[in-house]
A and B are shown apart, each in its own frame.
Chain A
Amino acid sequence: MRHEARVFRSLADETRLSMLCLLMQHEELCVCDFMEVLEITQSKASRHLRYLYNAGWVHDRREGLKMKYRLGVPPGLMGEKPLHLLSEIMTSHPEAQALRGKLTRWLENKPPSKGQKQEVRPAMRAGA
């Protein structure tokens, strides 16, 4: 049960829980989105994202200089149910709702990144 204990430890941090909460609202986010919405430094954002990655909660994808993250399910868990439970744990939280509002505002006003083709973000579905 070492693996499971590790997976739970990966959730034992406010920043990491907030990150998962944001990914439940928006399918894919880049490090800068987390930095902006959570008001944290790049090093802190990347550190926690790597932690979540190692525990299996997120997948990453490189796009140019940027790393993009989306939700995954840790090995040993299958299907949608774990994410659904986790989402239930977070959605009821007032803090989570505030974060979601902040993310929406940030994405609406996000300046197009330099040195990249103007990226038109499709309005992605909010998590169920």
Chain B
Amino acid sequence: MKNEARLFKSLGDETRLRILWLLMQKEELCVCDIMGVLGITQSKASRHLRYLFHLGWVTDRRDGLWMNYRISVAPGSQQDRQLRLLGEFFQDHPEARSLKEKLEKWMAAKELSGQKAGGTDGEIRCSCN
């Protein structure tokens, strides 16, 4: 059960849980979306995303200067079951709900401003699209 333990370990971090939760809401997210919604630095976001990538939770796709990530878990696999467990946790979770709302706002703002989207706080600027 070494592998299962290793997978659970990768879920034992708040930031990674938040990142996976965001990725579960959308088909694909850019690193800047994760930075913007979670209010974390690029280095922190990328570090955790690489960790998730190496354990097979996500796949990446380069788009110019930015990396995009999506969940890459085969249906019916151990990881799929673990993700469903995570979903159970966050079903009625206040923080999970507010993150979801924040993501919606962020995506709407990004779409609206086209080339250059400002973060909801105006702090983070994203130029990935």
Residues of chain A having any CB pair with chain B under 8 Å: 1-2, 4-9, 11-14, 16-18, 21, 76-77, 81-82, 85-86, 88-90, 92-93, 95-96
Contact = CB atoms under 8 A, between A and B. Distances in A.
B14 A96 contact: no
A70 to B, nearest CB: 20
Nearest to A17: B1
Contact of B88 (A14, A17, A85): A85
A77 B11 CA distance: 16
A99 to B, nearest CB: 9
Q: Is the interface of B mostly helix, strand, loop or mixed?
A: helix
Nearest to A93: B1
B81 A6 contact: no
B5 A12 contact: yes
A80 B90 CA distance: 15
B88 A9 contact: no
B93 interface: yes
29 contacts: A1-B14, A4-B86, A4-B89, A4-B90, A4-B93, A5-B11, A8-B8, A8-B86, A9-B8, A9-B9, A11-B8, A12-B5, A12-B9, A12-B11, A14-B5, A17-B1, A17-B4, A17-B5, A76-B93, A77-B89, A81-B88, A82-B85, A82-B88, A89-B4, A90-B1, A92-B78, A93-B1, A93-B4, A96-B1
B123 interface: no
User: Most chain-B Cβ atoms within 10 A of its Cβ — which of A76, A82, A89?
Assistant: A89
Contacts, number: 76
Contacts of B89: 4, 7, 76-77, 82
A90 B14 contact: no
Interface of B: 1-2, 4-6, 8-9, 11-14, 17-18, 78, 81-82, 84-86, 88-90, 93, 95-96
A9 B12 contact: yes
B9 A89 contact: no
Given A4-B89, A82-B89, A85-B81, 7 more contacts: A8-B8, A8-B86, A12-B6, A16-B5, A17-B4, A21-B1, A89-B4
